[in-house]
Structure 1
């Protein structure tokens, strides 16, 4: 039985409204108006003969029938995707809209500068880069893929390991001149250490030297959930930070900060590209993740400092 294209479109819009939890968010995503999205869903409900979404002034919630229909629509759309992929084997179009998530600093410094080259390679694409230093919910925020640094806690996701963020212990020359330079991790306990507080091990800094593990509980008078704020604190001479090499690569070259504890290898953090487990990865997602994987592996600012 052939499903009309407009029914598939209505199903796709319904699924996106459920995932985003907002008519207006889907309207912005599809570059149309909220009344148009509402009209499509009302027509779908009229054809089905029942309510899919219980609307209120505060939130959208699915009716029991709507929840069952949502599950079936998701399966149908995945099957259509798979059928098109099978038909276009080896030449699936890399086009459409790609919504990408990342932390603020990594997205600004490592993803945004690389988008121009990727879009020149795939002119049929449009990209929406969403940056947040909180772990983004891929479904509710409508993300196709997000980049996460650190250990993953959510096993209900498809994750591809892209490499590591190597870290370096840094301080401004002015701070070191005033407070002295630590020579071992244990020396850090006597210094003002600046914490990036989104890591589970924010006040436990781990190092390794000659196969031996060193750990130290640090303390300080300032912390932040944004790594670029930590960088500004370091540049202001406030204290010592353990941060990604790429965050301070230009500052290290220019002498604005000094790498310390160079004899010790700081614990690295894994980089993953993460996608929803219940959604087949499109060609555009696979192409972008492949592109970023190659770019990050070749990036000198992501290499460990020797």
Structure 2
């Protein structure tokens, strides 16, 4: 392995200390190790850098040149590392983020103003879509995904667990009645999604077992936020993540139904990013800011669901 920087550091330490033994004490190593490193450096360069005597060291002309340039290069390296490390406070650049429409609108967007107050020079390029983003193809830095993870080459940081609930608006339930069991779904408008290409089914509990219950309705949408808004408008029943419906349930805009028959099947929520290469500072900063706050958001959603159940 090329260790020219390490050799420069040892050489400069020897010159500063005035002897191999004094340099070894500063470097917390042995004089023989220091002597071998200097000998290896001289052998690689093909010149003698240090004239050795029993009492002192003297630099050759080549040694003076190498010492002067090494000091300058090491100082530049220190300055570069300090500049990059300090960049976390004044980091700039663009972080490209993809999230599902519901999770992005409910959980990610409300955190952005506080993030920009702490990091005003970072641009967030946010795309909301319930379709799975290809991080490689689309140049995405971070994707927040709800559901199973398929691409094993991505690094995942778990955010939490989403439980599905069936909800409707008070006005819809007043007009159509509150469903009491699984069979009641036949007379209700069940709002669905179009990104699953098969017929819409809702896992339901009946007769002591769980079945995939076929449902039908007048809406097939490509995102949960559209389904949520139309459920609030009284269009029908919706099956949403608990985090997505929580605020509406608390405010009375939506009411959970079929809690006993509904299967609160769980899906993992995670932040995904490419690995294992080192992340740019701006991406690390974004993750460090958002992940703990989103974990707290998801935990409070789970606690609210458990309390209501």
Is TM more than 0.5 here?
A: yes
Shift of 1:302: 5.6
Partner of 1:122: 119
Residues paired across the two proteins, number: 222
Mark the CA change 1:246 to 1:202 in structure 2 (over 3 Å): closer, same or farther: farther
Partner of 1:113: 110
Shift of 1:123: 4.0
Mark the CA change 1:282 to 1:221 in structure 2 (over 3 Å): closer, same or farther: same
Does the CA contact (< 8 Å) of 2:97 and 2:125 recur in 1?
yes
Choose which of 234, 237, 259 in structure 1 pairs with 2:231. Answer: 234
CA RMSD of aligned residues (A): 3.2
Mark the CA change 1:200 to 1:165 in structure 2 (over 3 Å): closer, same or farther: farther
Q: Alignment partner of 1:139: what SS?
A: helix
1:154 corresponds to 2:151? yes
Q: Alignment partner of 1:140: what SS?
A: helix
Partners of 1:173 and 1:150 in 2: CA distance: 29
Gaps of 5+ in 2: 3-76
> TM-score normalised to the size of structure 2?
0.61
Partners of 1:132 and 1:159 in 2: CA distance: 19
Partner of 1:173: 170
Shift of 1:173: 1.9
Choose which of 248, 268, 271 in structure 1 pairs with 2:269. Answer: 271
Write out aligned runs for 1:63-78 (5 A).
Answer: none
Q: Which has the larger radius of gyration?
A: 2
> TM-score normalised to the size of structure 1?
0.62
Choose which of 187, 195, 198 in structure 1 pairs with 2:192. Answer: 195
Shift of 1:186: 4.5
Does the CA contact (< 8 Å) of 1:230 and 1:241 recur in 2?
yes
Shift of 1:243: 0.7
Gaps of 5+ in 1: 2-82
Q: Alignment partner of 1:284: what SS?
A: helix
Shift of 1:91: 4.8
| Higher-helix-fraction structure | 2
